[in-house]
């Protein structure tokens, strides 16, 4: 935003109290949303990691009695990405708090936008890959002769489907965080 | 960046020629990278859309002789997301050109960062979901009794695997575009 006004003592007065207040509001929103996003990825990680179902009846089509997340590499990838993003979001709370204290400092916002973008890509990769496999587990694919396994492993499928929610919530939160930070940088 | 200097006629001189030049350089990089990213998604869309293999030999395990992208819903999703992002990147070249002409205008950069972020999430969703299915087609999953189909559909699998490259290239390009735009906004 272009700022104009009288200069005082040869030094430019860049500070506009309205922008200060708006950026402080953005910093608070950033902190709250980041904490919720961290909670979302934590929930996803825990739910996926603790999903475990042992079948009572085993048909000829299924070679495993017990279903866990690591039976499918995509779910291991999902768990890993969620754990990494959860760790990052938790650590980044420190930078977010520093923004609340000093809401006009640009450099922390720039660093957060770049890291948030990378984490958004990573989290979306994990969530989307897991969704593709969850979809296949529910629906199967007749053309490729991949049978749906959710008819057997219903509790397993319910939990892994549920674990995606926290991850997608965090994805949306990251998009909003990047948007807010960008607006805040333009005002600094 | 804080700028200081003598005020002229009560109006602040915000323009620093070095920042101008740097932002002009970023605008040029944005334009070139955006064009390459559009080309990447276009290639992915075309390769996925035209993949078609008809088997000479059909075993008892496979119910389809002909393999096309729309046999698997995930590949249709991949194609759709790539087509949308390709369309967006092509249209956004207009805004990118306007940035080259007027490299100090913030609002177009802010709009591009927000839209680029949404498109990055969308593109990554498509690419990652398709990768999960391509991986399954190559390796199969013994635990879920999903057999690898690439042993039969080798040419189909090669092409769909190849089609992912353009999409991932565009994903990396979008992360760089967001980074560059954020730096440019902080300098405006």
A interface test, pick of B6, B73, B117 with most A CB neighbours within 10 Å: B117
- pLDDT (mean) for B79-104: 93
Both tokens of residue B35? Answer: 């064009």
Nearest chain A residue to B140 by CA: give it: A146
Both tokens of residue A26? Answer: 């953005």
B84 falls within a domain: yes
Contact state of A125 with B128 under an 8 Å Cβ cutoff: yes
A120 falls within a domain: yes
A5 falls within a domain: no
Q: How confident is the model at residue B114 (pLDDT cuts 50, 70, 90)?
A: very high
Q: How confident is the model at residue B12 (pLDDT cuts 50, 70, 90)?
A: very low
- What are the tens digits of pLDDT across the range A42-55? 999 999 999 888 77
Q: How confident is the model at residue B45 (pLDDT cuts 50, 70, 90)?
A: very high
Range of the domain at B82: 18-48+70-126+164-187
Please state, in angstroms and rounded to a whole number, the distance separating the CA atoms of residues A92 and A34. 8
Q: What pLDDT does residue A53 have?
A: 80
Q: By the CB < 8 Å criterion, does A98 face chain B?
A: no
Please state, in angstroms and rounded to a whole number, the distance separating the CA atoms of residues B144 and A137. 9
Of A111, A22, A99, residue with least CA distance to B182 = A111
B interface test, pick of A69, A121, A135, A139 with most B CB neighbours within 10 Å: A121
Contact state of B175 with A126 under an 8 Å Cβ cutoff: no
Q: How confident is the model at residue B56 (pLDDT cuts 50, 70, 90)?
A: low
B87 has a pLDDT exceeding 70: yes
Q: What distance in Å separates residue B130's CA from the closest CA in chain A? A: 7
- What are the tens digits of pLDDT across the range A12-27? 445 577 777 888 899 9
Q: How confident is the model at residue B88 (pLDDT cuts 50, 70, 90)?
A: very high
Please state, in angstroms and rounded to a whole number, the distance separating the CA atoms of residues B124 and A39. 22
A101 falls within a domain: yes
Q: By the CB < 8 Å criterion, does B89 face chain A?
A: no
A149 has a pLDDT exceeding 50: yes
Please state, in angstroms and rounded to a whole number, the distance separating the CA atoms of residues A41 and B166. 29
B21 has a pLDDT exceeding 90: no
A76 falls within a domain: yes
B interface test, pick of A80, A112, A182 with most B CB neighbours within 10 Å: A182
Question: How many domains is chain A built from?
Answer: 1
B23 has a pLDDT exceeding 90: no
Q: Among A70-74, A127-131, B63-67, B105-109, name the one with the lowest average pLDDT.
A: B63-67
**Does pTM top 0.90 for this prediction?**
no
SS3 letters for chain A?
CCCCCCCECCECCCCCHHHHHHHHHHHHHHHHHHHHHHHHHHHHHHHHHHCEEECCCCCCCCCCCEEEHHHCHHHHHHHHHHHHHHHHHHHHHHHHHHHHHCCCCHHHHHHHHHHHHHHHHHHHHHHHHHHHHHHHHHHCECCCCECCCCCCCHHHHHHHHHHHHHHHHHHHHHHHHHHHHHHHHHHC
Q: Which ipTM score applies to this complex?
A: 0.86
Q: What pLDDT does residue A15 have?
A: 58
Q: What pLDDT does residue B62 have?
A: 59
Percentage of chain A surpassing pLDDT 70?
A: 86
Q: What does the angle CA A73 – CA A117 – CA B118 come to, to the nearest 5 degrees?
A: 90
A154 falls within a domain: yes
Q: How confident is the model at residue A104 (pLDDT cuts 50, 70, 90)?
A: confident
A58 falls within a domain: no
Assign residue B29 the CATH number of its domain: 1.20.120
B171 falls within a domain: yes
Q: Among A54-68, A142-156, B63-77, B90-104, name the one with the lowest average pLDDT.
A: A54-68
Q: What pLDDT does residue A67 have?
A: 83
Q: Among A31-35, A156-160, B12-16, name the one with the lowest average pLDDT.
A: B12-16
Nearest chain A residue to B108 by CA: give it: A186
B90 has a pLDDT exceeding 60: yes
């Amino acid at each position: 935003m272009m700022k104009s006004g009288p200069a005082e003592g040869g030094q430019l007065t860049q500070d506009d109290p309205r922008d200060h207040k708006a950026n402080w509001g953005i910093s608070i929103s950033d902190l709250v949303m980041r904490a919720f996003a961290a909670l979302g990825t934590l929930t996803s990680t825990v739910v996926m990691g603790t999903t475990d179902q042992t079948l009572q009846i085993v048909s000829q089509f299924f070679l495993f009695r017990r279903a866990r997340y690591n039976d499918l590499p995509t779910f291991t990838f999902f768990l890993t990405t969620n754990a990494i993003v959860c760790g990052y979001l938790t650590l980044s709370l420190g930078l977010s708090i520093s923004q609340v204290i000093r809401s006009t400092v640009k450099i922390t916002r720039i660093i957060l936008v770049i890291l948030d973008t990378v984490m958004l890509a990573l989290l979306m990769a994990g969530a989307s890959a897991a969704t593709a496999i969850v979809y296949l587990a529910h629906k199967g694919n007749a053309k490729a002769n991949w049978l749906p396994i959710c008819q057997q492993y219903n509790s397993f499928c319910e939990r892994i489907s549920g674990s995606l929610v926290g991850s997608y919530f965090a994805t949306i939160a990251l998009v909003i965080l990047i948007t807010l930070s960008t607006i805040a940088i333009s005002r600094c």
